[in-house]
């Protein structure tokens, strides 16, 4: 009996050790395999996005810079956050307090950055569809790069403020040795909810509603004048259709993002009122992380340039001289 109890402890040599989460072997193997596959897909697919946009000059656009920032955040999720959560699957944290603090900081940082990138993408599509004549002057590469840098800096500051007490004493909320938990106060949780969820959702929704209204009116105008289209107008129509397609694709990205993040924040609010059991927290958290895997999958289905770039990357054709000038459109 004593040997069995020791086997259930994270650190059998310590009386204050946490207990492992015991599940049937078949269930454990299935979950580990599934989570490992999701992790590998997230890392590989987002790495392909990063390489594609960074290598091919034709893809170096303002919109794609935002996708690059989002892909880098998603890549960090697969490279750092998902393995840490797999490690915590058995209920044992073996990497110490410092790495525990870094793990939670990265979690808050990446979520905040992802939300910020979604807002920037929505603003980009709003200007491109609703103010097309001034898009190239308002949305420049330097301005987009500045916005991305500010997004990462603000996210780092915000995450540091939310976790300021936890970062000083990562073990303060641990009930046993081998635990890695963080408790956010009601005030900090409310601020985080408004800053990284409710506020951005309101902005994103309003911008995309405006984009939708303008897109519908423009589509009707195009159909009304289709008989009198000249060559010059035809090129303008093609460009407008390209912008519309980009808006639809990024709209899908935003919708999937909201579907993945809403349960997590709903749980965060409900947990304050003790209306949801803590055992379900891992599901909502993994749904948030799974969004990082879905984004590049969406690009595969909607962007021909991504499919072409993947082919050039996996066949090592990007190593050839002049490959960065390849035509992917």
pLDDT score of 284: 80
Which pTM value belongs to this model? 0.83
Q: What does the pLDDT look like over 37-81, one tens digit per residue?
A: 999 999 999 999 999 999 988 888 898 999 999 999 999 999 999
Contact 183, 173 (CB under 8 A): yes
Any residues with CB less than 8 A from the CB of 73 and at least 6 apart, and which? 110, 113, 114, 117, 292
Domain range annotation of the chain: 27-170+186-325
Percent of the chain with pLDDT over 90: 22
Question: CA gyration radius for the chain?
Answer: 23
The superfamily in CATH containing domain 27-170+186-325 is Rhodopsin 7-helix transmembrane proteins (1.20.1070.10)
Q: What is the pLDDT of residues 214-240, one digit of tens each?
A: 776 766 665 555 545 544 445 444 545
Q: Mutual orientation of helices 141-162 and 62-76 as an angle, nearest 10°? A: 30
End-to-end CA distance of the chain: 67
Query: Measured between alpha carbons, how far is 134 from 154 in angstroms, rounded to an integer?
Result: 27
pLDDT confidence of residue 51 = 93
C-alpha–C-alpha distance, residues 134 and 253, integer Å: 25
What three-state secondary structure class fits 177? strand
Q: CA-CA distance, 114 to 264, in Å (whole number)?
A: 14
pLDDT value of residue 255: 82
**Dist. CA 60–CA 110, nearest whole Å:** 23
> Coil, strand or helix: which one is 300?
helix
């Amino acid at each position: 009996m004593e040997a069995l109890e020791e086997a259930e402890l994270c650190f059998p040599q310590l009386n204050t050790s946490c207990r492992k989460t015991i599940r049937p072997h078949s269930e454990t193997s299935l979950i580990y395999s599934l989570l490992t596959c999701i992790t590998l897909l997230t890392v590989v697919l987002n790495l392909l996005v990063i390489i594609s946009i960074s290598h091919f000059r034709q893809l170096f656009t303002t919109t794609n810079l935002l996708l690059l920032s989002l892909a880098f955040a998603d890549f960090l999720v697969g490279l750092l956050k998902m393995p840490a959560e797999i490690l915590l699957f058995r209920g044992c944290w073996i990497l110490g307090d410092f790495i525990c603090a870094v793990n939670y900081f990265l979690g808050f940082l990446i979520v905040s950055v992802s939300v910020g990138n979604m807002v920037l993408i929505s603003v980009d599509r709003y200007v491109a569809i609703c103010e097309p004549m001034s898009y190239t002057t308002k949305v420049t590469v330097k301005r987009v790069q500045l916005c991305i840098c500010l997004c990462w800096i603000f996210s780092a500051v915000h995450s540091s403020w939310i976790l300021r007490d936890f970062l000083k004493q990562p073990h303060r909320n641990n009930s046993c040795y081998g635990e890695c938990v963080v408790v956010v106060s009601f005030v900090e949780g409310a601020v985080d909810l408004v800053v990284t969820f409710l506020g951005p959702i309101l902005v994103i929704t309003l911008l995309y509603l405006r984009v939708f209204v303008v897109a519908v009116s423009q589509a009707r105008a195009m159909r009304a004048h289709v008989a009198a289209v000249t060559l010059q107008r035809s090129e303008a129509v093609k460009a407008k259709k390209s912008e519309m397609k980009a808006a639809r694709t990024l709209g899908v990205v935003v919708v999937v993002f909201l579907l993945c993040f809403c349960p997590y924040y709903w749980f965060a609010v409900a947990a304050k009122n003790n209306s949801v059991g803590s055992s379900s927290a891992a599901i909502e958290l993994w749904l948030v992380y799974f969004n990082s895997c879905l984004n590049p999958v969406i690009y595969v289905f909607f962007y021909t340039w991504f499919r072409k770039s993947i082919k050039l990357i996996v066949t090592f054709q990007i190593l050839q001289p002049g490959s960065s000038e390849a035509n992917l459109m």
